[in-house]
């Protein structure tokens, strides 16, 4: 009986660790933009990147965009602030992404990384 309890305990620990492996600290982005862009160009690059990466983007006020990504029952909402000199992507909320204690499912961080990369490519190419 003790062997069974030990095995069950071992499986429980392994299962808990496996679940944790899918989470990581929540990534936020703070990017500096090289000179030569206006705030309007930065806004256009962000909105274009959002469309390219299938985010729903809404300008909520000057210099602020709310963005939402939804896929297979998972939802992430971020706030993007921007100016001619910089932009930031900050976590707001999520559904079914295991957000807890400053950690979240790795899929969220992949979405944010892809969005950031698309914004940078748009700014670099000048096609906004």
Q: What is the number of other CB atoms lying within 10 angstroms of the CB of residue 83?
A: 15
118, 49 in Cβ contact below 8 A?
yes
Rounded to 5 degrees, φ, ψ at 90 are: -125, 135
| Separation CA 112–CA 17 (nearest Å) | 24
DSSP 73: T
What integer pLDDT is reported at residue 126 of this predicted model? Answer: 78
What integer pLDDT is reported at residue 34 of this predicted model? Answer: 86
Which residue numbers in the chain have pLDDT < 50? 10, 12-20
Domains, the chain: 2-125 (3.30.310.80)
What integer pLDDT is reported at residue 77 of this predicted model? Answer: 98
pTM of the full predicted structure?
Answer: 0.82
Token readout for 45 is 């690059």
| Separation CA 128–CA 122 (nearest Å) | 6
Q: What is the number of other CB atoms lying within 10 angstroms of the CB of residue 79?
A: 16
| Separation CA 27–CA 122 (nearest Å) | 21
Whose structure tokens read 């979240």?
Answer: 104
What integer pLDDT is reported at residue 35 of this predicted model? Answer: 80
């Amino acid at each position: 009986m003790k062997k069974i309890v030990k095995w069950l305990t071992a499986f429980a620990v392994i299962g808990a660790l496996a679940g944790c492996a899918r989470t990581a600290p929540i990534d936020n982005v703070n990017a500096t933009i090289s000179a030569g862009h206006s705030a309007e160009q930065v806004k256009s690059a962000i909105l274009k990147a959002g469309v390219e990466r299938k985010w729903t983007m809404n300008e909520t006020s000057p210099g602020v965009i709310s963005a939402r990504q939804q896929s297979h029952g998972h939802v992430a909402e971020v706030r993007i602030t921007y100016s001619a000199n910089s932009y930031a992507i900050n976590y707001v909320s999520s559904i079914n992404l295991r957000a807890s204690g400053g950690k979240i499912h790795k899929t969220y961080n992949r979405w944010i990384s892809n969005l950031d990369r698309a914004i940078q490519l748009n700014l670099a190419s000048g096609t906004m």
